[in-house]
Amino acid sequence: MAQTVPNVKRSVPNILITGTPGVGKSTLCAQLAEVTGLQWLEISKIAKDYNCLEEFDEVYQCPYLDEDKLLDGLEEVMCKGGNIVDYHCNELFPERWFDVVFVLRADNTVLYDRLTARGYTGKKLEDNVQCEIFQTILEEARASYKPEIVHELYSRTPNELQDNINRICLWIQNWLQDNST
Find the helix or strand (DSSP H, E) in which 77 lies.
Answer: helix 67-80
Q: Which CB atom, from 45 or from 80, has the smaller least distance to ligand DAT?
A: 45
Long-range CB contacts for residues 30-39, cutoff 8 Å, separation at least 24 = 31/161, 31/165, 32/84, 32/165, 32/168, 32/169, 33/84, 35/165, 35/169, 36/84, 36/169, 36/172, 38/12, 38/82, 38/83, 38/84, 38/172, 39/77, 39/82, 39/83, 39/84
Q: Is beta strand 100-105 parallel, antiparallel or unpaired with respect to 15-18? A: parallel
Contact between 27 and ligand DAT per CB under 6 A:
yes
114 part of the interface to ligand DAT, by CB under 6 A = yes
Q: Cβ of residue 179: shortest distance to ligand DAT, in angstroms?
A: 28
Q: Is residue 18 near ligand DAT by the rule CB under 6 A? A: no
With contacts defined by CB under 6 A, name the span among 22-30, 49-57, 73-81, 167-175 that binds ligand DAT: 22-30
User: Which residue from 13, 14, 15, 25 is in contact with ligand DAT, where contact means CB under 6 A?
Assistant: 25
DSSP string computed for 7-44: ----SS--EEEE-STTSSHHHHHHHHHHHH-PEEEEHH
Q: Closest distance between ligand DAT and the C-beta of residue 120, in Å?
A: 10
Does position 161 interact with ligand DAT (CB under 6 A)? The reply is yes
124 belongs to the binding site for ligand DAT (CB under 6 A): no
Chain residues 39-78 in contact with ligand DAT, contact rule CB under 6 A:
none
Binding-site size for ligand DAT (CB under 6 A) equals 15
Query: Which residues form the interface with ligand DAT (CB under 6 A)?
Result: 19, 21-27, 114, 155-158, 160-161
